[in-house]
């Protein structure tokens, strides 16, 4: 799945990319981390020694997951879809996503869009998913106006700016998926 290589290539700096783990990133569930968007956007499954959790049930809120205090992630399974892509607007200092969007389209036509960095926790963008089900094109994603309510606002960007970036990054992710 080439889209996962896109995600991995844009994470932090060389030290983080070489020493950090997918499991550690998911367990931490930082608001602007890249891996949660990939896992949620692809509809992956998270395995622990005790149970299997679908991505939709795993992420609960900022730095909060469905993991029990004694659980550790042992595997992450990604379904192979027809297309997938990731695009992010990185914070220049930390390289965390100011807004990052992972899109996937399954062979059966199901579309998933996950957003990181824009809100306190990774989330799915239902309006963009709906638009992409009709037409899996950058223009369809760009045409969706995202509500700024509940989005982050800080010195790096207002909620309105992040709302605009969600559609822009979704369009870029769809374009990136063309080769995947």
pLDDT tens for each residue of 95-154:
899 999 999 999 999 999 999 999 999 999 999 999 999 999 999 999 999 999 999 999
pLDDT tens for each residue of 137-149:
999 999 999 999 9
CA distance 3 to 23: 18
pTM for this model (two decimals): 0.95
Looking at residue 144, what DSSP letter applies? P
- The answer to whether 32 touches 25, Cβ cutoff 8 Å, is no
Q: Which of 51, 45, 4 is nearest to 173 (CA)?
A: 4
Fold of 1-180: 3.30.465
CA distance 177 to 141: 13
Domain range annotation of the chain: 1-180
């Amino acid at each position: 799945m080439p889209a996962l290589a896109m995600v991995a290539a844009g994470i932090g700096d060389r030290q983080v990319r070489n020493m950090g783990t997918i499991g550690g990133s998911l367990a931490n569930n930082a608001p602007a981390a890249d891996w949660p968007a990939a896992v949620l956007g692809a509809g992956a499954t998270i395995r622990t020694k005790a149970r299997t959790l679908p991505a939709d049930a795993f992420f609960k809120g900022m730095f909060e997951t469905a993991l029990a205090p004694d659980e550790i992630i042992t595997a992450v399974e990604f379904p192979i879809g027809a297309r997938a892509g990731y695009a992010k607007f990185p914070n220049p200092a930390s390289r965390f996503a100011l807004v990052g969007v992972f899109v996937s389209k399954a062979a059966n036509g199901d579309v998933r869009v996950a957003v990181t960095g824009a809100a306190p926790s990774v989330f799915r963008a239902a309006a963009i998913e709906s638009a992409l089900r009709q037409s899996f094109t950058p223009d369809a994603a760009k045409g969706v106006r995202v509500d700024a309510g509940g989005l982050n606002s800080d010195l790096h960007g207002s909620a309105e700016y992040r709302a605009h970036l969600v559609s822009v990054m979704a369009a870029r992710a769809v374009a990136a998926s063309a080769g995947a």
